[in-house]
Every structure is written in C-alpha cells, then in structure tokens.
Chains A and B, each alone.
Chain A
Amino acid sequence: MLRFYSLMGMLLFLCTMSYAQSKQISGRVTDQKDGSSLPGVTVKVKGTNAGTVTTPDGTYKLDVPAEGTSIIFSFVGYSDQEIVIGNQKTINVILSTGNKDLSEVVVVGYGTQNKRDLTGAVSKISAKEIENQPVVSFESAIQGKTPGVVIESGSGKVGQGIKVRIRGTSSISASSQPLYVVDGMPVNSTSNTDVNNDPTNPMADINPNDIESIEVLKDASAAAIYGARASNGVILITTKKGKSGEKTRLELNANAGWGKPTQKRGFLNAKEYVTLLEERAVNDGKTAFATKDPRFPFPTEAASIAYFKKRVEDEFTSLTLGKDFNNLGYSTNWEDASFRNTAHSQQLDLSATGGTDKTKFYVSGFYNNQEAVVINNKFVRYGGRLNLEHAATDKVSFGMNVNVSRSQLDRISNDNTFSTPSQLVAQSPLSPLYDSTGAINNNTLYPNGLFDAQFNSNRQVTFRTLGNVFLNYKILPTLSFRSELGADISSLTEDQFIGVQSSDAFGKGGGLSNYTQDVALNTNNYFTFTPNLGADHLFSATAGMSYLQDDFSTTQVSGELFPSDIIKKLVAAASITFGNSTAQRYTFLSYFGRANYAYKGKYLASVSLRGDGSSRFGPNKRYGAFPAGSLGWVASEEGFLKDNKTLNFLKFRVSYGTTGNAEIGENRYLTLLEPTAYPLLPGYRPRQMGNPDLKWEKTKQFDVGLEFGLFNNRLSGEVDYYNKQTSDLLLQANLPYTTGYDFQYLNIGNMENKGVEIMLNSVNIDTRHFKWNTSLNLAYNKNRVKDIKGQIIESTSGEQRAVEGQPIGVFYMAKFAGVDPQTGNALYIDGSGKPNADFSQAERMVVGKSTPDWTGGFTNTFSGYGFDLSVFFSFVQGNDIYNRAAIYQDNGFASGYDNQLRDVLNRWQKPGDITNVPRLSRYYSDGASDNSSRWLFDGSYIRLKSLTLGYSLPKSVINTLKISGLRVYVAGYNLWTKTKYNGDPEINSDVMGNIAGGIDYYTVPQAKQITLGLNVKF
C-alpha cells in the first residue's frame, strides 16, 4: 500500500515541473503512401532542445521557443523533413518512403508503445490475418502465424479447447495456457463445461471478425506487467474501434464453406476381415494345441483349429445378422459413416464504424454456423458488439466496450466412449448399416453410435457478456488517469439427453442438466505520466492497481426413467439420480508500475514491477513481486549507419525479468474435508492435504533480440533468443496413499525452455500493378524438465510422464523391437536391453516426445490488377504421435473383433517373414493390447493451411455501384498435407494437458474446407 502512495506522490510532484512557453504549433503527420497517421515521429525545433513526438493518432503539439524558426520531422526509415514555421500555427506533414511497421502502435499491458521503441518481444497480428476464416475461435486463425506461439486444436470437433503454448510449456501441474486480455480485461479462458467431456473453449464467444489486433507478449519485459499470471505469455486482444473524423463506414462479410475430413485412415473390408480372422483362428488353434493350453484341451491340432474357426464363424454369422459371410455382397465402411457427407459453414456479419471529434464507435452484429466433419457436432454463435468512446471535455473521456453473444455447441461425447461417432471404426465391416426392416442396425459388435445418435442429444449454450466501462481523465497535460471496470459474465447451460432406446440408457433414458455461472469483475486504475523532457528524452511511466474477483458456481442435476423420448428435460425423469450445487471465488489484487525511457530515439530502457496477491495462496506466501527490465539500442540511428543504403534499420534489445504462475485452481494450500452423501447419513471425509507454504511458480526469462531492415526495408526481420527458467514449480506431487491423500501441491523442481524465433518479411516485387510479399516465421524450442525431485508425474492415461533431463511429455512405455521372423511374435526390449517376446519383462522407457522442435509458417501474398492471392503453409517438426487406439485397431485382432487398420495386412504369416506386424492371434500375442512404441510415429508435418484467392472490383465499378469496396474470394483450408503419420497429424485427444500430448485416440481429423466469401464496404 505504501508503495502505491509514494509512487503517486512522486508522479504528482514531477507533473508540476513545466517549461517556459512562447508559441504553440500543432499538426498531424501522415504517411505518403496510404495517408495513415504516423505516431512516434520526432518533432524537433531546429537548433534548440525543444521537441516532442507524435501521439498514436499522429498528432502533436509543440511549444516553440522564441528563437525557433523551423521544425524538423524525423522518423526511422523515413526521410527527414524540415518546415519553416513562419506564421503557421498548424503544420501537417507527409513523410515518404519508410517501413511502416516500425511506426506501428503496439498494445502493451496498460498502454501502447511504438514498435520502434519496444524493448520487449511482442508479436502483433493484425485483423487481416484473423478475419473471415472458417474457424470457431481466433486461435485457430493465428496458428502458425507467429514464431514461438504453438497452437494445437486437438481435433476436427468444433468448439473444443485449444492448446496454446508461448515459448514452450513452462509448468507441469499448473496450467500452461497464456493469459488472455480483451481490451484491458483479463478474461476467463478455461472450460466451464461438464468435466466428463472434452473441455470447450470460452474464447469462442468472441467473434474473430471483431478483432482489430492481437499482441502476443512473449518475453519477461513485455509480460511482467501482468506479473503473477504472465509466465505462459499474455495474449492481448484489441477489438475494433472507431477513429475520430472517420466517415461512417458499413461493412458486410458473408461466407459459406464446405468441409470434409482431411484424412481417412482406412480399415479392412469385409473380405479381408473374414480372411484375417480365419487366419487368426488357425494360428490360435495351432498354438493352443502345441502349447497344450489347459483352457483348450483338444486331442488333435485339427480339432483345436476347428474349435477356433467355429468360434470366429459363429461371430461372423452373428455380425452379418445371419447372412452367408462368404458371399455377403457388401462391406460396411463405418469410418465413412462417422463423417458428414459435407460439413457446412456459414458466417455473416455486419459492422459499422466511424467517429466525430468527440465520439467514436464500432458496432457489429455477427452470426456463425459451423458443422464439424464428424456427425452431430456443430457450433452456432450470434451476438453483437458495441465499442463507444466519447470525449466529454478535452480532459475527460469515457466509453464502453461490450460484447454480448450466445454460443451453442451440439456435442458428441469424448473420445473414450463407445457412443462417440469416431469409435464407429471399431465396428465390423460385416455388420450392415441397416437391418432387414430398414432400421439402423443395433446388433453390432459394440453399441452402434449411429443408432444412439438418433435418440441422444447434448447441447451446450453459453451466454457471454464481456465488456468494460472506462474513464480517462487528463489531470495535467503530462499526467492522465484511466479507470476501467470490467465484467466477464458467462452462463453456461448444458443439456444432455440419452433416449430410452439408446444403448447407453439401459432402457431407462437419462438426462443431465448442468448450469454454470462464472462472473468475473475486474478493475484497473492507473496513471500515465509523460513529461515533456525535450526532443532527446522520451519518458513515460505508468503506475496503478488492479483487482480481479471471480465467482464461479455450478448446479447439476441428472435423472433417469423417462416415459419416452419426446420430453428431453428432467421434468420427465421419474428418478432424480444426482443433484448438487457448488460455489467458489478467487481474487487477485495487484499493483504495478512501469517506466520507459528513450534517448535520442536510439538508446531505450524500460523497467517494470508488479506485486500480486492472490486468494490461491495462504497468508504465509500470499504476495509475490515480479520485476523486469530491458534495454534497446537502435544502432541504425548512430552516425556510422545513419545513411547506410543497404541497412536501413538495426535494433538490438535485451531483457530479463520474472513472471509467475498460479493456475492451479482454488484452495490448493488448504487441507480440505469434503461433504459426503451416504444415504441419509451426511458426513465429511478428508479430501486434500494442504501446504500452507505454497507459493507462486516463478519463471525467469532472458531474451536477446535483433530487428533489422535491409534494402529500403524490402527485407526486414526479427530474431530472438530466449532462455526461460521456471523454478518453484507448482507440482502436484504424489503422496503415498497410506497418508490418506493422493497428492499435495509443492513448490519443487525446475524446468527450462530455450529457443530461437525468427521472423522474416520480404517485399519481393513492389510495382504499381503487382506486389509479392513473403513472410516466414520459424521457431525452435527445447524444453527440459531439469529437476522434479524424483516425482513420477504421469498423464492421466499413463503413456506419458515428466522425466528429469527430458522434455516434458515424453512417451514412457515398452519399446517395440520388431517381430521375430521365426515365430511372428512381437519383441520388446527387456531389462537387460535385449529383445524379448515376454511383454511382462519389457522395460518402460523414454521412446519419444510429443513436443515439437521446430514450428512455423510460410506465407506468400500476391496482389495486382484487383486480384489477391495468399498461400500459407504451416509446419511442425520433431514431435511424435502415439496412436493409443492401435491397441484395439492395430493389434492383430488380439482384443476380439475390432476392425483393424490396413497395416495389419502386412502381418507375419510364416517363418522367415520379415515384417513389423506380428502374427494374428487372440490368445497368444503378448503385448498386443498394451502400450508400446510399436504405435509411435513421427508427427512432423507441413500443411497448406490456407489458400485464398480474392478479387476486388475496380474503382470505376465501385463508384457506379455507390459503394466503397467489394471483394469476393474463394479460400481453401488444409488442402494439402505431408506427414509420415497415418492419419491427421493435427490431433491431440487430451488437448489441454501439459504432459499429455500427441495422443490419437479415435480422434476426429481436422476439416479440409472450401469457402466462398464476399466483403462489401459501404
């Protein structure tokens, strides 16, 4: 508290210092090329110390001493201009030839900065790259667009959680998702859905077309202003705003899309299925007889084989519903049945933007409807946004940004359920889709998901109000205050219904109603101080406080025994089987300050400090301090480089700082007892062992970067090296169950991420009629779990774990060593390092990793004669994918009658066969149903993520139509992929995990889409 007041006092004192004045000149500086405002331009009175820089809207006000006669406007990458003052009071200037990017305004926490003056690593993605993509949420649109930001949407299901990793995974047990801040307000980005299904994505409530820019704060210098919540990086989302003096403009966006799965895997057809199962029967008959298996005592080998053959043939007859399986005349392709013929999508939004001197606005209405490639999964969103700002006086302005939306998600169950459509592939090709009466066949190997789909539904509806009101008050010309009060309110209802006839219903029918309310209130109050210290010194400081309070409550009821399928609400359930409600709050209280200084536009420095307190930690360790500092040097401003024809811009920057992480959920420091509900006997039982000394996870990050512009800035780029060291890991450390508890959160261990990021932009051709730009981004990250004090922390399903000295999420399982050519048995590496056919002797070991080494994207854009073409590839290299479903679908029928991947056709058949696919067997195939590296594949891929061809009507036609612009486009997504993985490489069944990753478990592949769109500006 004391810190806050003293800071305030200091600021007020500084404000009182002012300069002698004589004459004031004002004006605006714009770019010659497109007439846009140029912020950050140095405006200096020649021969004096007097000077200033232009504001974000390109304007300036300058007090000119009596002796001043002319003003020099200078800006990196632009030619200087000298204007004689004379009698002018307003001087507007147009600067020519330069790299516009450097003057770009970049949104940073609690303020903005010019890109040129930035000393932190911040990536900016503009609206153009986000708009009009056939995606539900903006994260998918920026995938592969920024170096060091790895985005994984786990499957082709829509509306699901999306994994975002900025500069690697920096936590093991706490969340590694970045902090999302929308128009200054941290927003809820974690799933509130039914915990038994996959997480959904609350960011999908924001219309991507409303986004003006996304800034990714990557290094400590940029992110530390968000202190305790910044270890995983910060994503700042700024929505579209009106501009003063802008004529009201209406814009219509419409597009429609058609999608199919990128890839189908391919399973056996009926004939192959029969042949191979007969072969399995013969194999088992022989082995049973040869080994004198007491379970199958037969006098002769022939009798033994006959027994096994009869068993499979009985099953065939049952599967075919009694038809002759040798002359079936059909083969059911269940994989095809799990997908829609075509997944449709439509998007429509209409916006208006404009402004006067006093009032600026942006208003939009949006509608989006997207079907997943898989059946029954669909997302619909509609809503509106209003962003308004009004200047009451020249000192006071206020406004609000508000987004109201309704998102509806028709869901399918998670990957690990029979009823999820993608598990249909396990069904036999012998089973017909329809029975003799024409109804969907439900006498299948497993409950038929298609059958159940007729009766079941699962709909989640979210109402989200996201917005803030703000007040700006210019206390003095050099000191302003901003207060923001925001709310993020989401109400989520989820209604699940299982029809009476559905196989999951056991003849009873079932329903679940889940209501979740999440109300976050946030206030930011801060001062910004920008004293005028002359043209050589640019100083700004920000100090303030922030408070966040989040109240989360749930109500859940489920019931069964429905009279029929007509009423799908619980009113019709004769028996209520579950009902409860819960509530929880968390709070964060923070103070922050930052100062930026630039000398002569070439020596830059920045320091920041944030202090955070949170309800997530006990009184012993409640507060944490997160400092950061950075330096920059614009070398191209030095005399020896100033007029270099080749090297137009060169900047070095270095930063170091500490950020924190507290994303472990609530009450982790407390020992807890939970209520129990033994029939009519209410009680408590121990639930969690607390740790009163639990504290923030800390990440210290060093970053050194280089920015450059060459050949008239035709080639520009940015290179960063970073070293992130996370310590005091918030680790969910196993306790022996003999303590009565499962785990305890401890601050133990260290993890690191080191990497390089490269961003290159090149203007290859730039003529009046034709332009060709290329952009390449490339990132390398090496993650290493340095020390977790011997803790064994596994993914939920146990295939992956954190291993000291290894990257997080290594696959830890038996190592497959091929197939014995003599016996056809699978071999695994045993404890002595030798191949062994006995799976129980197999040693679990590190066999691969799910985290990639290199990630990036490559974009080429061409434009000319009204056409524009953009070709965007994204790629990932160095990661592995594990097909967990292979223990059922590629195990040589070891678990029964699950249909098999076509890989099984390469099985071992006779001694001498050299193959990697073991002999077919139900009873004698050791390890076939256990996890091993046999199903671990290189997950690297390069994918033509998007290809867009647009045509804009020429001016003459537009004028005739009395509109200001019209563009039509056709775009393709995921049209081409190169990978060694037999399936879609962009999958991850357990999408949000830190340790779990790269798991394919009947996962729905991504969509390959074509869209047609129209954009009209009025």
Chain B
Amino acid sequence: MKSYKRYITLCLLAVSAVGLPACNKKLEVAPGSYIVPDQVKTESDVRAELLGAYSNLQHYDAYGERAILIPELLSDEGELSFEGTFLTYRQYQDKAQLKTSAIAEGIWQRGFKTINNVNIVLSNLNLVSKDNKTAIEAEAKFVRGLMYFNLCNLFGKPYSAGAVTTNLAIPLILDPIIAQEDLQKGYQPRATVDAVHKQIVADLVFATTNLGETNEKGRANKYAAYAILSRVYMAEGLYDKAAIAANEVIKSDAFALTSTFDKAFNNGLNSSEDIFAIQQTNQSNAGTVNNGLQTFYAGYDFGSRGDIIIDLDKIPAYEPDDVRGSFFYENYGLAVDDGFYTGKWKEQYKVIPVVRLAEMYLTRAESNLRAGTTVGAEPLDDINLVRERSHATALAAVTADIAVAERIRELAFEGDKLWTYKRLKKSVGAFTYTDNKLVLPIPQRETDVNTKLTQNPGY
C-alpha cells in the first residue's frame, strides 16, 4: 500500500510540475479556418488576396445580382414587375426605398469590402516579384475602379447633373485597413463626384496600360479595363475618349460577337463576346434561393423564384424578326401564376456578363456620333453589325438617338438603362434624371456610425 501511495504522490507532482506549465502554451490557439494578416508572406499569398476580390465581385451585393438588378428596377417604366414577396426589392421599382433598406446597405457594404480587399493587395506589392508587380497592381486597380464607379453611380447624383465638385458621392478610401491603428482611415466624409471620378479614371487608365492582353479565365485583362473606362467617359460626356476606349477593345480582335444573340447568354464559360464576366458554377455563385440575378429573373422551371415578370407590351419596340424581341419565355414563379420572363438570365450557375462586346460597338457608334468622329468605324456599320446578328433589318442612316434606342434594345435587363438615361438627362417615367429617388440612400447604419457622412436629399 505504501508504494501505491508514493506512486500517486509522484503522479501528482508530475502533473503539477510538467503538466501545468505546458498548459500555458495551450492557450495559444491558431484560427482553424482563417488566416491572420501575418500569414500573408509570399507572392502567391498576395495573388490569393487579389483573387479574393473577385469573390467579392461575385457577391449578390455586387455583380452577382444587385449592381445589375437594382438600376434595372429603378429605371423601370413598366417593362418589368417585381412580383416576389421581398418587399425591399419592390420598393426600388416603386422608387420608395428607405434609408434603412438592407439592399442599399448591402451594396455599400460589399463595395467597401471589395475596395479594402484590393487596397490591402496594393499595400502588399512589396511581396510580389518585380515581374508581376505592375500586373497585380493594375488588376487590383481595375477592381477598385470598377467598384468605385458602381458605388459612385448608385449613391451620388449623376456626373451629367453638373456641380461635380460639390455634389457628394462616396468616401474615397485608398489606404489599406488591416489593423486596429488603420481603422481611423475608414471614417471619411463623402468625396465629391469629381474626386471619385478622377480616382476611377486614374485606376482604370493604369489598368489599361499595365494589364496584360490575356489573363486567367474570369480575371480582368486590359480590355476589361478599357470597356469599363468607356462607360466612365460616357458618363462624363467625354465621347471622344469613350470612342477611343471602346475602339481599343474592338480592334484588339480578342473578342467576337457570338454567332447568334442567344449564345451571348447562359454560358458556362465566357462567351466570345464577354469582355468581363462574373464566373459561376454550381458550387460558387451569387445565390440560388434568396439571391442571385437568375434567382429572380428566371421562371420556376429553371430552379428560380420567378419573381420578375416582363410586360411584353412595354418592352422597347423590336422589329418582328428581331430575335431580341422574342427572347422571352412563358413560365411561372413562387408568387406568379403565369408570366413572361427574359431569356437573358434563364439558367442557373451561368456566367454573368458585366460588359459585352456588343456594348462596345454601340458605345463606339454613339460616341463617334456625339463627338463627330469616326474612330475605328462608321457608326452606321457598328449599329448594323449589332442589329444584323439579331436579324433586325439594316438601317440606312443613324443618329445618336437611334444609337441609344439600339442600345436600350440590345442591353435590356442588363443594368444599363438607368445610366444611359442619366447621362442623357432623360426622365424615367415621372422621375427626372436627377430625382432624389433615383439615387440610393446612404445607409442609415452608416450615418449612425460615421457622423462625417451626410445623407442624400430625399431620405
């Protein structure tokens, strides 16, 4: 029994002497499913951070849904109707969105997450080899320019409204925020439309110069940057520059219009005319049940809610043989017994074109017409090229207004209409292009937490 006792005493001492100090080390526990900033050490880590930004672009609060859907709902003149049960979407169609809208909040949130994401990439360029440094920098700046342009359009008055040096857009955050001491840099007032546009142009111009002509599938190349830049110039009324930017894309021959109109949509991989598109698969997408462009736009038989129906009497006028005019199908939805749906966002898990080559032709044509130039081609040829693909008759003459009408027909339900109307100072139904309700509210949550922010008029 004695030895038993000694044995136990020894055990106790062993536990106390060896076990306990070892326990202190046990309090150092690394995150199991995340990394910390210090673990970003190599070029491939920085590259991974850059790729993370694409995941942000795919989010439904960005190009996975709302960056495209919300402007379309705002610019509705009867051609579509949100019939679903989500009242928050319906409010945008009714121009009755509130400053507490979760949608405006989400778009803002995802936008700035994306921006910080790429700002962090830009601050880690010292880890990248000399050969790849500029390309990574350019790609990060492309993402930043794209996202600033999206946010500036949605949360600020249009550039066309003038007063760009006083009209407020969104805060310009260009520094990375990754540690406690950086946080203060995120508390910024809204910068002017002018300041934001200058930054967008600077970022995108850098991207056009320094991005390669090709890139991995789904990633931006220099033509993606030119395409977005052409939109920025159009919004600024700089049609000469817009024509040149669009022409850079077209003349590269890196892209080609798809042989038929329908082939431009519902593709598993980028089509020949996708200049920049959001990649989706069954395992990586913007949502299939409560979110995602296709989730709302497609009928129930295509795995969707079928919430957005199209009124065929109110869509832009198409010629009888124009395939774009019949690019609709009858189906139903969770809250719809029977209705027509657009064929553009029909199938699940397909790439979401952000900018297509057809737009570049339309942009070049209209911009040339407005600038009085003929950069790249005659406007009439550009317009007819787009029309012929869809079996619309060739036009004999073209004006800027005709080019715009073609643009509305070609890009219907792709989120372009609102921006075209705004730059042309065209009213959306009863709402003038500068109407307060055609601008999103600064999310109440943001004005609550950052007192430097001012609310948009009308909220």
Residues of A within 8 A of B (CB): 1, 4-5, 8, 294, 318, 393, 395-396, 418, 446-447, 471, 473, 475, 481, 483, 503-504, 506-508, 525, 545, 547, 549, 553, 560, 575-579, 582-587, 589, 613-615, 622, 666-667, 670-692, 734-742, 744, 792, 798, 840, 895, 929
Contacts and interface: CB of A to CB of B under 8 A. Distances in A.
A498 to B, nearest CB: 11
Given A393-B1, A549-B26, A679 B218 contact: yes
Contacts of A587: 26-27, 29
A622 B52 contact: no
A571 B87 CA distance: 38
Contacts of B180: 689-692
B116 interface: yes
Given A507-B303, A737-B113, A673 B29 contact: no
A577 B282 contact: yes
B58 interface: yes
A688 B61 CA distance: 18
Interface string B176-189: 01111011011110
Contacts of B40: 673, 684
A292 to B, nearest CB: 13
17 contacts: A395-B5, A506-B303, A525-B15, A577-B282, A584-B32, A673-B52, A674-B34, A679-B280, A680-B217, A684-B48, A686-B120, A691-B180, A735-B186, A736-B186, A736-B453, A737-B443, A739-B173
Given A1-B21, A615-B27, A677 B283 contact: yes
Interface of B: 1, 4-5, 8-9, 12, 15-16, 20-21, 23-24, 26-29, 31-37, 40, 45, 47-56, 58, 87, 98, 100, 105, 108-109, 112-113, 115-117, 119-120, 171, 173, 177-180, 182-183, 185-188, 216-219, 279-284, 288-289, 300-304, 334-335, 337, 430, 443, 445-446, 448-450, 453
Contact of A679 (B108, B279, B301): B279
Given A685-B52, A735-B183, A673 B37 contact: yes
Contacts of A675: 33-35
A506 B304 contact: yes
A685 to B, nearest CB: 3
Nearest to B37: A671
Given A679-B281, A683-B48, A685-B117, A734 B16 contact: no
A613 B31 contact: no
A837 to B, nearest CB: 16
A686 B36 contact: no
B94 to A, nearest CB: 10
A670 B31 contact: yes
Interface centre among A1, A673, A792 (most CB of B within 10 A): A673
A558 to B, nearest CB: 10
Contact of A681 (B188, B218, B302, B448): B218
Contacts of B54: 676, 678, 681, 683
A238 B303 CA distance: 52
Nearest to A475: B9
Contact of B48 (A395, A614, A682): A682
Nearest to A549: B26
Nearest to A584: B32
A678 B29 contact: no
Contacts of B280: 679
Nearest to A677: B284
Given A507-B300, A578-B283, A685-B53, 13 more contacts: A395-B5, A481-B12, A506-B303, A506-B304, A585-B32, A671-B179, A672-B35, A673-B35, A673-B52, A674-B33, A679-B280, A685-B49, A739-B185
Contacts of B15: 483, 525
B20 A1 contact: yes
A584 B56 contact: no
Given A737-B108, A740-B117, A671 B301 contact: no
Nearest to A481: B12
A798 B219 CA distance: 38
Interface centre among A473, A671, A740, A742 (most CB of B within 10 A): A740
Nearest to A690: B180
Given A614-B27, A622-B27, A739 B183 contact: yes
Nearest to B117: A685
Nearest to B186: A739
B24 A613 contact: yes
Closest 8 CB pairs of A and B: A740-B116, A739-B186, A683-B51, A685-B52, A683-B52, A676-B55, A615-B29, A584-B32
Contacts of B182: 739
A583 B32 contact: yes
B177 A473 contact: no
A589 B55 contact: no
B194 to A, nearest CB: 19
Contacts of B21: 1
Given A670-B31, A681-B219, A684-B40, A738 B112 contact: yes
Nearest to A742: B109
B117 A666 contact: no
Nearest to B304: A506
A549 B31 CA distance: 14
A149 B171 CA distance: 48
Interface centre among B16, B27, B47, B50 (most CB of A within 10 A): B27
Contacts of B8: 396, 471, 473
A713 B30 CA distance: 57
A678 B51 contact: yes
Contacts of A586: 29
Contacts of A615: 26-29
Nearest to B185: A739
A500 B453 CA distance: 49
Contacts of A583: 32-33
B29 A686 contact: no
A294 B303 contact: no
A585 B51 CA distance: 28
B105 to A, nearest CB: 8
A652 B20 CA distance: 40
Contacts of A691: 180
B301 A507 contact: yes
Contacts of B12: 481, 483, 525
A667 B31 contact: yes
A394 to B, nearest CB: 10
A590 B137 CA distance: 49
A560 B289 CA distance: 13
Contacts of A679: 218, 279-281, 283-284
A677 B285 CA distance: 9
Given A506-B303, A508-B303, A741-B177, A683 B24 contact: no
A678 B27 contact: no
A553 B33 CA distance: 10
Contact of A738 (B187, B304, B335): B187
A738 B450 contact: yes
Nearest to B4: A396
Contacts of B1: 393
Given A481-B12, A679-B279, A737 B112 contact: yes
A740 B51 contact: no
A842 to B, nearest CB: 11
A149 to B, nearest CB: 32
Given A577-B282, A678-B58, A736-B186, A672 B31 contact: yes
Nearest to B113: A740
B108 to A, nearest CB: 6
A471 B8 CA distance: 10
B393 to A, nearest CB: 35
A671 B36 CA distance: 6
A740 to B, nearest CB: 3
B8 to A, nearest CB: 5
Interface centre among A507, A584, A613, A679 (most CB of B within 10 A): A679
A736 B34 contact: no
A684 B49 contact: yes
A687 B33 CA distance: 11
Contacts of B453: 736
Given A672-B36, A681-B216, A684-B49, A589 B26 contact: yes
